[in-house]
Structure 1
Amino acid sequence: MTTPDARSGTGRPAELFFEDLVPGLTVDLGVVTVDANEMVAFARRFDPQWYHVDPDLAAESRHGGLIASGFYTVSLFMRAYVDHLLSRAAADASPGLEELRWLAPVRAGDRLAVRVDVMGARPSTARPGLGTVSLTGTMLRLGPDDRPEQEVLRTRFRGWFAVRPVEVDPADAGAVEAAPTDADRPETDQSETDRPETDRPDADQPSADRPASDPIAADPAAAGSPDGDPTEISGSTEPQRHD
């Protein structure tokens, strides 16, 4: 059975863990093509500004036509990130992002190359069992020859990823199960405190006859002080008088 911390971001068994996401690693997230209908539908639902939804006004403006909502563009990035990395990695939630920049307009039909670069990684101090990975995501518009023409989006963010589970050797597990318990030990192995009252050497002795090693018999005054100091009785540093 796959434990939750060994599942990928899409619920399947994970193959990548925190230890695999080392600084300097670049992950290719593929190429996405901007669909005109989807781009406008997103804008009408979430960002209905005229240069996203009104083709006539957009054509007469400096934009020269409709441009995508920036949040639609970052949604395309997120989908590529899930499809090509989080679907394989033991991903947890994200604690947030530090930067999100829209560097150039995105239009219907654009082909955008997507990637992430691992900038840093460290064990999480807030969540044991997880590591914090710092990532930079970029989207670049491709030309007709599939060469990058212009960077259109950049984001810096962090993600939590589970550390690789430690596999227990079955032989070691069997040794732990075979270890004797207190109930299995012979009576001679029991400590003094585990023996019945009648079996203790001083069980039949009255308190006055107990050896001086008994703290109760050796220092009656100590019982009156939490620190065991006979000079500190009832809050006074002077010996108590009995008139």
Structure 2
Amino acid sequence: MRYFEDFHPGQIIELGSKTVSEEEIIAFARQFDPQPFHVDHDAAAQSIFKGVIASGWHTCSMMMRMVVDGLMCEASSMGSPGLDGVRWLQPVRAGDTISVSYETTKVKASASRPDRGVVWSKWTATNQHGEAVCTIEGMGMFGRRPDA
């Protein structure tokens, strides 16, 4: 179990990777973000992207899954009060493999609730070429290590 005390600024946790298929890109977009360059081959080919790309929200969802699987399921996570920023830096295309890292940027024990602390972090997704495709900055609450 990872507790608040296990996080420190500058710490980087690698969270794995995922290869995204065109079928996944289109299925997600049809349900949640049906813009033509996400769901229509012809329209996408005529767009500035020159082909179908994943919705930025799909990229964020894949990142969230890797954060949950690689960190939160084995941590004393108490949820998040929100995000400070999301940036979509490069399009994600069918066949791309994205890898996610979690960098702790700041930690602060709660003064009013001694059972928890806040961890600020920056998540970065990179593609198979080492290019950053998305960053998410925000904070999460984690339980403090129980007294021995």
Q: How many aligned residue pairs are there?
A: 148
Q: Aligned pair 1:161/2:147, yes or no?
A: no
Q: Which consecutive residues of structure 2, in runs of 5 or more, have no partner in the other structure?
A: none
Report the residue type matching 1:42 in the other structure: F
State the match for 2:56 in structure 1. Answer: 70
Instruction: Tell me whether 1:31 sits opposite 2:17 in the alignment.
Output: yes
1:101 maps to 2:87: yes
Distance 1:126 1:39 in 2: 43
Instruction: Tell me the SS of whatever aligns to 2:127.
Output: strand
**CA offsets 1:94-146 (integer angstroms, 9 cap, x no match):** 01111100001111110111101000101123543110000000011113xxx
Matches within 5 A, 1:1-243: 15-143=1-129, 148=130, 150-167=131-148
- Residue 142 of structure 1 aligns to a residue whose secondary structure is coil
- In the TM superposition, what is the alpha-carbon distance from 1:88 to its structure 2 partner? 1.1
Tell me the CA shift for residue 38 of structure 1.
Answer: 1.4
Give the C-alpha shift of residue 63 in structure 1.
1.1
- Determine what percentage of the aligned residue pairs are the same residue: 43
Q: List runs of 5+ in structure 1 lacking aligned partners.
A: 1-14, 168-243
Deviation at 1:24, TM superposition (A): 1.4
Amino acid aligned to 1:71: W
Q: Which has the larger radius of gyration?
A: 1
TM value normalised by structure 2: 0.96
Q: Which runs of 4+ in 1 moved over 4 A?
A: none
- Could you state the TM-score of these two structures normalised by the residue count of structure 1? 0.59
For the residues of structure 1 that align with 2:32 and 2:59, how far apart are their CA atoms?
Answer: 13
Higher relative contact order (CA 8 A, sep 6+): 2
Query: Over aligned residue pairs, what C-alpha RMSD do you find?
Result: 1.1
Q: If each structure's strand is expressed as a fraction of its own residues, which one has the higher value?
A: 2
